[in-house]
Each structure stands twice: as C-alpha cells, then as structure tokens.
C-alpha cells in the first residue's frame, strides 16, 4: 500500500467521512451531490429553452433513430452513442421539448454518478463544489439538454478516473473495476478518439503499478465501447485507417495547430468557431480559463504536501491529455470540446479553493473567503449573460430553419423530397426531406443522382441570398426563404 493511500485512509478516518472504498459514505453526503445534480437539471430547464429546436449536429444524431425525417449523412468522426442515448424518446416521438427534458434529467443523473465515483477520495463538500463549478459553466448548461456527445464524455471521464483511483488504492474493490469499465465504455461509445486521449495516463499507470485487472477493465471498456465504430469503419469507410484518415480530413487535417486563442474566442458564445477569425472577447469572458491551471497547480501543491499526490495528479494528467488535441492539433474551436478537461480539473480546483477559504482546523478565513466568493459571483454573472445570449441566438436560428421548412411545404416540397446545398441537413430535417451534397465534408451523392431524383420527387437546391446556385439548378425556379434562397426543380411533367 502506498504512502498516498495510507495518508488518505488516515485523513478520512479522522474526519469520519469515508474510507477509500466508500463503505461509510453517508446518506448526507449523497444528498449533497444529489442536490447539486438536481440544481443542474433545474437550471437547464429554466435557462435553456426546452422549445429550442434541434441544431445541425443534433439533427444528424437524432435522425438516425427518429421519426421526423430520413437519416442524415453520418460522417467519419461521429459515433452512434448519442443516437442510442436519444433513442428512448426520439424513436417514437418527434417532440423536441420531451427530448430536451429527458436529456436534461439524464445529464443530471450522469453528473451525480460521475461525482459519486470519487467518494472516499475527496470530502463530499469538495465533490459538490467541483460539480457546481462544472455545472455552472454556460457551455455545460447549454449542452446538457442537447443530443451532443461531449458532456457524456466528461461524465464517463469522471466515472472512469474516479473508479480507477479507488481500484488502485483498494485492489479488492470490484465495484470500482466495474466503474472503470463502464466509464471507458461510455466515453468510447460517444467519441472513441476522445476516450483514448482521456485515458492515456491511465493506460500507462495501470501496468506501471502492476494492477493487471485494472488494466484489463480499462482496455475492455475502451474496446467494448468502440467496437461498433470499428466495425462500421470496415463496412462503410474501407477500414479503420481509412476512417481515421477521413475523420482527420474533415477536421481540417490533424497535426500541429495552435488553437488556444481560438478556444478563448469561442468562449464568448460561439458554438463553432471555424474559421475562427472573430475578435478576441473581453478578458472577463475567459478569465476563468486562465485562472484554472493556476488554481489546479495550487491544488496539486496542496496534495503533495498532504501526501495524497495521486488523487490530484491523475485527474489533472487526464484533463491535460483530453485537452491536448483540441488546443494543439486542430485548426478551429468549439467550447464543448473541452468539457471533459473541465470536469476532471474541477475536482482539484474545488479542493484548492476549500483549502484557501478554511484553515487546517476547519475554520473560515473571512477575507479570503469573501474575495473568492466575489470572484465566483462575477464569474457566474458572466456565464449567465453568455448563456442567455447564446440561447436566444440559437433559438432564433433554429426558428428560421423551421420557417424555411414551412415555406418549402407551401411551395410543394413535401416528403418524400430532397434538399441540397447550404444548410440542407438541418432544413431537410425540419422539412422531412432527405439531404444531399456533391462535395465537402458531407458529400453523399452526385449531380447525376440528384437529377434522376428530381424526376421522381420534389428537389430543391438551397444557397445564400444572391449566391450563384450549382450548375444543375440554374434553370430551376427561384424562391426566397428565411435567410436562404431555394431553386426548386420543376415537376417532371412540366419540363
């Protein structure tokens, strides 16, 4: 047994809070974590409109299992986990409101289980604080009720890393081994490549400490979660290497790309910053990101002095490897990409904040506590403003898609039908049509196939107002939509 484990056992026994296996974890501690998760669900339902329509990526995932429209093109980087997550509702109901409520509740449950995986490693107050820090970010609230993978990779990371540390400290803890496997499955199920990046430190550490059952559980979880993605690679993309290469191409070519500044720009409320040419926002928008590594380093220093290094160093290492590809290997940014890193870093950060505001004897430091409370209040105010603006802007954009769909219906473009061109994937979903593209990341058809389809069903080519339409549609009838123009193929009998 390591010095880190001995120190943890002694400290936990003195406080009477938990043992490393969590056997004496109290119901009051569970209630605290459940309260944080419940408030997270409530905040989503209040601050993020359940009536917000589905976004572009959501359309792709939900259409695979939904009843609203034909399945959209499923590109190489995507995995089927989100579709399966949405299936219990989307497979029989087209209600976006119902799907949002279901996903919000599920995301709160996931946060509770992810935090609870750390029982016995940190006091409940630290875990609750970490959960509150993570759950109060505008991007965590915004994406919690959406059919998107990144929050679920974060939950899987919390579950996997927490249970890994528990299993490492107590080799008889079988529940922790199952937790490692479940967390790895969830991550790989949602985004296989992200799962590998998150678990890189664990894949090194497990063999290093000769914990072969732990290593086996981790590898088995990754394999079980990614097996469908790998099989699909051979069935639809020509092999695993080909799928990875295609995924890299779609993401602009993976390699050295400094995207730290792009990530900072995206924190102002841009769901996708590609190309990220917008001005840098006011520093108050991203000040918390700059403070994050400093406070995390303080948490690590505190852990080293207390003789419990591993419990802080491992999640920070996993947070670092989770963030690396999105900070230094792609040429664009989306704030949701870093959710797993934020979730893992939140625990050492919360631990550091607790030590800043209390003495070793548990008494408050009034001045320090007041300053930190003031900083957190300002941070929350900024997060709320960004969330409010982002939600309003997103709702307006998706309502425009719905209005375009209604106008297309009025013009006779009704299912079965096909839309091509600009924003064809989301507008096609709202219209109930299939979508097609002859070039770009979502290419799935040819000009000849589009023209043959126009002989059988309504076809419309969408483009920006005033833009030159594709050559095959230049003779089609022009109509104005909400922020788009549509050229609709004449019926076969009218040509």
From 163, 56, 47, select the one nearest 398 (Cα to Cα). Answer: 56
Could you tell me if residue 139 is inside a domain?
no
Number of domains in the chain: 2
Same domain as 353, residue 262 = yes
Token pair in block for residue 199? 């678990």
Under the banding of pLDDT at 50, 70 and 90, the label for residue 12 is very low
Helix (H) / strand (E) element for 174: namely helix 174-190
Burial class (CB in 10 A: 0-12, 13-18, 19+), 163: buried
Same domain as 404, residue 338 = no
**Owner of token pair 């299993």:** 167
Give the mean pLDDT of the chain. 93
Token pair in block for residue 66? 């939904």
In angstroms, rounded to a whole number, what is the distance separating the alpha carbons of residues 316 and 314?
A: 5
The answer, yes or no, to whether residue 10 has pLDDT greater than 60, is: no
Could you tell me if residue 447 is inside a domain?
yes
The answer, yes or no, to whether residue 420 has pLDDT greater than 70, is: yes
Q: What is the pLDDT of residues 134-171, one digit of tens each?
A: 999 999 999 999 999 999 999 999 999 999 999 999 98
Q: What angle do CA 116, 120, 123 make, to 5 degrees?
A: 85
Last residue of one domain, picked from the residues 357, 376, 408: 357
Token pair in block for residue 395? 């709702």
12, 104, 484 from 466: Cα distances, Å: 68, 40, 9
Helix (H) / strand (E) element for 107: namely helix 96-116
Could you tell me if residue 428 is inside a domain?
yes
Last residue of one domain, picked from the residues 334, 357, 380: 357
In angstroms, rounded to a whole number, what is the distance separating the alpha carbons of residues 478 and 484?
A: 11
Token pair in block for residue 292? 């994050």
Q: What is the DSSP secondary-structure string of 423-452?
A: THHHHHHHHT-EEE-SSSTT----HHHHHH
Q: What is the pLDDT of residues 435-454, one digit of tens each?
A: 999 999 999 999 999 999 99
Proportion of the chain above pLDDT 70, given as a percent: 94
Instruction: State whether residue 186 is helix, strand or coil.
Output: helix
Same domain as 352, residue 275 = yes
Same domain as 260, residue 329 = yes
Beta strands at 459-463 and 418-421: parallel, antiparallel or unpaired: parallel
Same domain as 458, residue 410 = yes
Residue 14: predicted pLDDT: 38
How would you label 84-98 residue by residue, b for 16+ Cβ within 10 Å and e otherwise?
bbbbebbeeeeebee
Residue 370: predicted pLDDT: 96
Token pair in block for residue 213? 């059952």
Torsion region of 282: left, alpha or beta (phi above 0 gives left; psi -120 to 50 gives alpha): beta
Could you tell me if residue 134 is inside a domain?
no
Q: What is the pLDDT of residues 305-359, one digit of tens each?
A: 999 999 999 999 999 999 999 999 999 999 999 999 999 999 999 999 999 999 8
Could you tell me if residue 230 is inside a domain?
no
From 268, 404, 251, select the one nearest 326 (Cα to Cα). Answer: 251
Same domain as 348, residue 276 = yes
Q: How many CB atoms within 10 Å of residue 356? A: 16
Range of the domain at 464: 395-494
Could you tell me if residue 404 is inside a domain?
yes
> Are residues 386 and 271 in contact, defined by beta-carbon separation less than 8 angstroms?
no
Could you tell me if residue 245 is inside a domain?
no
Residue 429: predicted pLDDT: 97
Residue 128: predicted pLDDT: 98
Same domain as 352, residue 302 = yes
Task: Name the maximum alpha-carbon separation found in the chain.
Answer: 86
In angstroms, rounded to a whole number, what is the distance separating the alpha carbons of residues 444 and 452?
A: 15
Q: Enumerate residues 6+ apart whose C-beta is below 8 A from 20.
A: 5, 8, 9, 12, 120, 121, 166, 169, 170, 173
Could you tell me if residue 282 is inside a domain?
yes
Residue 17: predicted pLDDT: 37
Same domain as 421, residue 345 = no
Q: What is the pLDDT of residues 48-95, one digit of tens each?
A: 989 899 999 999 999 999 988 999 999 999 999 999 999 999 999 999
Handedness of CA 168, 133, 104, 260 (dihedral sign): negative
In angstroms, rounded to a whole number, what is the distance separating the alpha carbons of residues 353 and 345?
A: 12
Instruction: State whether residue 12 is helix, strand or coil.
Output: helix
Average pLDDT over residues 367-393: 96
């Amino acid at each position: 047994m390591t010095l880190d484990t001995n120190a943890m056992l002694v400290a936990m026994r003195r406080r009477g809070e938990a043992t490393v296996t969590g056997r004496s974890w109290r119901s009051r501690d569970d209630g605290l974590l459940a309260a944080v998760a419940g408030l997270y669900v409530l905040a989503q339902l209040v601050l993020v409109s359940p009536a917000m329509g589905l976004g572009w990526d959501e359309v792709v995932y939900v259409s695979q299992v939904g009843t609203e429209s034909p399945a959209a093109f499923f590109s190489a980087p995507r995995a089927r986990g989100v579709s399966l997550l949405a299936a219990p509702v989307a497979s029989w109901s087209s209600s976006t409101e119902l799907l949002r409520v279901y996903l919000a509740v599920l995301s709160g449950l996931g946060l509770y289980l992810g935090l609870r995986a750390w029982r016995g490693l940190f006091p409940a107050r630290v875990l609750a604080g970490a959960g509150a820090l993570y759950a109060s970010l505008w991007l965590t609230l915004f994406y919690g009720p959406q059919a998107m993978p990144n929050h679920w990779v974060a939950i899987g990371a919390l579950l996997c890393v927490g249970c890994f540390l528990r299993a490492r400290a107590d080799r008889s803890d079988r529940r922790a081994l199952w937790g490692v496997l479940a967390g790895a499955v969830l991550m790989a199920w949602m985004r296989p490549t992200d799962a590998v990046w998150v678990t890189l430190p664990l894949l090194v550490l497990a063999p290093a400490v000769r914990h072969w059952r732990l290593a086996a559980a981790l590898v088995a979880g990754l394999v079980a979660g990614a097996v469908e993605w790998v099989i699909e690679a051979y069935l639809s993309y020509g092999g695993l290497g080909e799928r990875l290469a295609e995924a890299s191409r779609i993401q602009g070519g993976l390699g050295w790309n400094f995207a730290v500044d792009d990530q900072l720009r995206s924190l102002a409320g841009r769901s996708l910053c590609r190309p990220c040419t917008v001005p840098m926002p006011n520093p108050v928008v991203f000040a918390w990101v700059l403070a994050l590594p400093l406070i995390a380093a303080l948490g690590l220093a505190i852990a080293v002095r207390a003789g419990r290094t591993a419990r802080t160093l491992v999640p920070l290492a996993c947070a670092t490897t989770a963030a690396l590809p999105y900070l230094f290997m792609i040429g664009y940014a989306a704030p949701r990409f870093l959710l797993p890193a934020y979730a893992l870093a939140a625990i050492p950060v919360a631990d550091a904040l607790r030590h800043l505001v209390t003495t070793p004897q548990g008494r408050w430091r009034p001045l320090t506590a007041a300053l930190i409370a003031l900083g957190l209040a300002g941070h929350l105010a900024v997060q709320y403003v960004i969330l409010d603006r982002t939600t309003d802007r997103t709702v307006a954009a998706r309502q425009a898609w719905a209005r375009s769909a209604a106008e297309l219906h009025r013009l006779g473009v009704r299912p079965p039908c096909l839309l091509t061109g600009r924003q064809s994937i989301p507008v096609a979903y709202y219209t109930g049509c299939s979508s097609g593209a002859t070039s770009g990341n979502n290419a799935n058809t040819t000009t000849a196939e589009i023209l043959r389809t126009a002989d059988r069903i309504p076809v419309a080519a969408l483009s920006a107002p005033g833009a030159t339409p594709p050559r095959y549609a230049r003779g089609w009838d022009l109509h104005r939509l909400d922020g788009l123009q549509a050229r609709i193929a004449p019926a076969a009998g009218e040509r």
